[in-house]
């Protein structure tokens, strides 16, 4: 089944990671880090089927050696919390052969990464099947620091001074010129990532088309595609690590429940659509069979069906069961005001509308849950990173403060984002009602679970309508071509 997964993260010293360890793991090799004086041995890792380093024209040829490359990257980054590399994790397609998937991965890396001047360390993985499901994918590590035209390491950022209306630099309260740190490349820009994501989808879809497959993938989120699913909640790396170790978490359990909800709604809506299509076909067939079509009386048709069924019944008990089913069916039709095929079609459409309304209600509540989760995460990030922000502000020397800011760039950006979102969420100077928000979140989850549990009512009604449709088809197939008179 065609699958789209395209994930980008950064390998950072601030998270206790090293570029050499990450490269050794992805390549399934043993690499020695001169920078740390340590061996990273992943030669026992299985499923690595292809590795190579792809270089832009101006890169030193010695960087084609994995150890040499990542030792150079580690030495070029002096900060103890520096960002070292971009790490791409991209799903391959089970519809393609291993050779085709490797060729696609190499093409993507060459066109979207190396062509932008990036060094790319590629590793294609074909791990053992998980629950019988293939999971081919590839990893690409790219140094964040760019190369100069002469092959030396360049700057990640440059200063862009803030100017007044006369073009003069603006000073802060300490007499220092105010500036913004601007990336020297566009590699981390959202627009660039969007272009890469789109390019990967288009490459796979061209291959699907060339092989005559109907399946396609889309780089856009379900929301951007107009697919109305209940959104999952963000788990974060710690939750994912715990879940990977088999430790259940509240967020993990909630997301598993949400995925089950989405499957249930999608299944029921697809079956309702198929039922509507079948009813349309029955109605159209009846119109073609008569020059002047009159709406079929469902009771008449069902009587025809049950007469035939009773004629073939093998016991009095079977006939009694048939009679009880007929009574139950007629009571349902009478309660719903269903008399004709068109009435039956309307009932199916109304059931579909109820299912959609229930799905929308659950989705809207889940969106609110996500808003609350985002704010609670911002509160945690603000509290955790505020001491770091205060430490930076206590540094009096301009260059030292700027170096501190560069060393902690990612954490400080996260702090500024949390501060901004919390300020936007506050009502005036009032603090956020955290206790009330947590209580609201719990109530919304319980309401969603209750609504989802009640979906069994819609499933039951669908099965009843589907059975009626099947009986009508049987009656219409068996009837001779004559005008139908109602039973007296």
| Statement: residue 130 has pLDDT above 70 | no
Average of pLDDT values for 340-364?
89
> Could you give the CA distance from residue 203 to residue 104 in angstroms, rounded to a whole number?
8
> Could you give the CA distance from residue 226 to residue 220 in angstroms, rounded to a whole number?
10
- Tokens found for residue 305: 């069906």
The pLDDT, as a whole number, for residue 227 is 60
Cross-strand bridge partners of residue 121: 53, 141
| Statement: residue 483 has pLDDT above 60 | no
The pLDDT, as a whole number, for residue 225 is 61
What contacts 442, CB < 8 A, 6 or more positions away? Answer: none
The pLDDT, as a whole number, for residue 290 is 57
What contacts 7, CB < 8 A, 6 or more positions away? Answer: 88, 89, 90
> Could you give the CA distance from residue 193 to residue 112 in angstroms, rounded to a whole number?
10
| Statement: residue 488 has pLDDT above 60 | no
Percent of the chain's residues with pLDDT above 90 = 32
421, 372 Cβ separation under 8 angstroms: no
Which range among 104-108, 431-435, 484-488 has the greatest average pLDDT? 104-108
The pLDDT, as a whole number, for residue 295 is 45
Q: In what order do the strands lie in the sheet with 83-91?
A: 6-12, 83-91, 137-143, 120-125, 48-54
| Structural domains of the chain sorted by starting position, each given as residue range(s) with its CATH number in brackets | 6-155+184-214 (3.30.930.30), 220-488 (no CATH)
| Statement: residue 131 has pLDDT above 50 | no
475, 301 Cβ separation under 8 angstroms: yes
Residue 193 phi, psi (nearest 5): -65, -40
More confident residue, 174 or 398: 398
More confident residue, 272 or 120: 120
Judge residue 211's burial from the number of C-beta atoms within 10 Å of its C-beta, 0-12 exposed, 13-18 middle, 19 or more buried: exposed
| Statement: residue 73 has pLDDT above 90 | yes
The pLDDT, as a whole number, for residue 279 is 85
> Could you give the CA distance from residue 96 to residue 2 in angstroms, rounded to a whole number?
10
pTM: 0.53
Percent of the chain's residues with pLDDT above 70 = 89
469, 275 Cβ separation under 8 angstroms: yes
| Statement: residue 204 has pLDDT above 90 | yes
Q: Which pairs with CB-CB distance under 8 Å and at least 24 residues apart come from 196-202? A: 196/6, 196/112, 197/6, 199/108, 199/111, 199/112, 200/6, 200/90, 200/108, 200/112, 201/4
Average of pLDDT values for 88-97?
89
Average pLDDT, the chain: 84
């Amino acid at each position: 089944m065609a699958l789209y997964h395209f994930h980008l993260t950064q390998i950072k010293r601030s998270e206790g990671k090293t570029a050499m360890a990450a490269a050794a793991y992805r390549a399934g090799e043993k690499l020695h880090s001169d920078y740390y004086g340590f061996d990273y041995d992943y030669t026992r890792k299985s499923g690595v089927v292809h590795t190579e380093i792809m270089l832009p024209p101006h890169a030193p040829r010695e960087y084609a050696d994995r150890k040499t490359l990542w030792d150079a990257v580690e030495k070029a980054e002096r900060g103890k919390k520096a960002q070292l590399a971009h790490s791409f994790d991209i799903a391959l397609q089970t519809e393609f052969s291993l050779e085709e998937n490797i060729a696609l991965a190499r093409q993507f890396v060459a066109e979207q990464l190396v062509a932008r001047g990036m060094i790319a360390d590629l590793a294609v993985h074909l791990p053992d099947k998980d629950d019988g499901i293939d999971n081919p994918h590839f990893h690409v590590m790219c140094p964040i620091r760019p190369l100069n035209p002469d092959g030396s390491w360049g700057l990640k950022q440059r200063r862009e001074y803030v100017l007044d209306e006369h073009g003069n630099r603006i000073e802060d309260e300490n007499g220092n010129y105010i500036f913004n740190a601007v990336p020297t490349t566009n590699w981390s820009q959202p627009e660039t990532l969007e272009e890469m994501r789109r390019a990967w989808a288009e490459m796979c879809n061209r291959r699907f088309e060339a092989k005559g497959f109907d399946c396609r993938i889309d780089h856009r989120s379900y929301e951007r595609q107009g697919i109305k699913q209940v959104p999952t909640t963000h788990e974060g790396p710690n939750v994912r690590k715990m879940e990977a170790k088999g430790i259940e978490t509240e967020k993990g359990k909630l997301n598993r429940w949400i995925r089950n909800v989405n499957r249930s709604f999608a299944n029921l809506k697809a079956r309702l659509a198929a039922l509507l299509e079948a009813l349309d076909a029955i109605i159209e067939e009846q119109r073609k069979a008569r020059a002047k079509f009159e709406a079929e009386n469902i009771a008449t048709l069902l009587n025809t069906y049950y007469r035939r069924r009773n004629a073939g019944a093998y016991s009095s008990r079977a006939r009694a069961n048939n009679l009880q089913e007929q009574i139950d069916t007629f009571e349902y039709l009478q309660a719903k005001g269903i008399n004709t095929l068109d009435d039956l079609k309307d009932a199916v459409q109304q059931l579909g509308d109820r299912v959609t309304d229930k799905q929308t209600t659950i989705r809207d509540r889940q969106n609110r849950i996500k808003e609350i989760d985002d704010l609670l995460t911002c509160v945690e990030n603000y509290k955790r990173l505020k001491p770091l922000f205060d430490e930076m502000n206590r540094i009096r020397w301009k260059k030292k403060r700027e170096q501190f800011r560069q060393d902690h760039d990612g954490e400080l950006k996260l702090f500024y984002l949390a501060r901004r979102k919390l300020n936007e969420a506050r009502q005036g100077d009032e603090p956020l009602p955290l206790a009330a928000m947590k209580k609201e979140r719990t109530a919304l989850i319980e309401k969603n679970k209750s609504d989802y549990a009640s979906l069994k009512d819609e499933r039951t009604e669908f099965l009843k309508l589907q059975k009626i449709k099947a009986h009508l088809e049987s009656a219409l197939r068996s009837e001779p071509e004559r005008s139908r008179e109602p039973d007296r």
